[in-house]
Amino acid sequence: MEARRHNRGPVATSVENICRDGNFIHAFCTSVILLNQSHHRLLMIGLLQRVTHAEVRVADRQVGAIGTGLLVLVGVERGDSEVQADRLLERLCTYRVFPDTEGRMNRSLQEIGGQLLLVSQFTLAADTRSGTRPGFSPAAAPDEGRRLFDYLVERARVRLGAVQTGEFGASMQVSLTNDGPVTFWLQVPPEGSGKG
């Protein structure tokens, strides 16, 4: 059996080479593995929640709090850069999740003058595709995660003014009143992917 030759990519090439040996089952399994790997792109993550109140405490000390606005949990993955941080901030500021006069989600954080609370959460980058224990190899190294989170906070303050945060790397207690509830998982793809 010979694989079709048009529109050949890395998966098709692998299938063709293996099929020449007559091992179709092996070829099929290899194509699935390569396809999954090609689709598993590293992305900066923002878990956005529309809130009427949110606060972060560390050891019974309040380190950040907001009223009406967005609580965003931020996950930084290996390969992320300032490009992804800038794009994530753009989406957080302009994503239309607040109601207009007709009750439709048609207004952004920037439009309503809402508040922003950014909290780092490396567990968002966990690999949960198999097993019963998460793997954290996709997450950025702590120093790089801190650098990009701090960059995101700095740029957010330039754009919005006062921005509240958690405490990077600390054991935090986060409480919130989710308004709706409204929660969105935003992802910013790597540079050159043509998405986002």
Q: Where are the domains of the chain?
A: 10-39, 44-188
Name the active-site residue from 52, 94, 123, 128: 123
SS (H, E, C) the chain: CCCCCCCCCHHHHHHHHHHCCCCHHHHHHHHHHHHHHHHCCCCEEEEEEEEEEEEEEECCEEEEEECCEEEEEEECECCCCHHHHHHHHHHHHHCEEEECCCCCEEEEHHHHCCEEEEEECHHHHCECCCCCCCECCCECCHHHHHHHHHHHHHHHHHHHCCCEECCCCCCCEEEEEEEEEEEEEEEECCCCCCCC
User: Catalytic pick from 84, 115, 121, 165?
Assistant: 121
Is 121 catalytic? The answer is yes
For residue range 8-51, list pLDDT tens digits in order: 444 444 434 433 444 433 333 333 323 333 334 458 899 999 99
pLDDT band at 191 (very low <50, low <70, confident <90, very high): low
Angle at 85 between CA 53 and CA 89, to 5 degrees: 45
- Residue range 44-188 forms a domain whose CATH class is alpha beta
Residue pair 65/56 in contact (Cβ under 8 Å)? The answer is yes
pLDDT tens across 140-180, in order? 888 999 999 999 999 999 999 999 999 998 999 999 999 99
Active-site residue, 115 included: no
- The yes-or-no answer on residue 122 being catalytic is yes
β-sheet bridge partners, residue 61: 58
The pTM for the full model equals 0.75
In which band, very low, low, confident or very high, does the pLDDT at 3 lie, cut at 50, 70 and 90?
Answer: very low
The active-site residue out of 49, 122, 149, 165 is 122
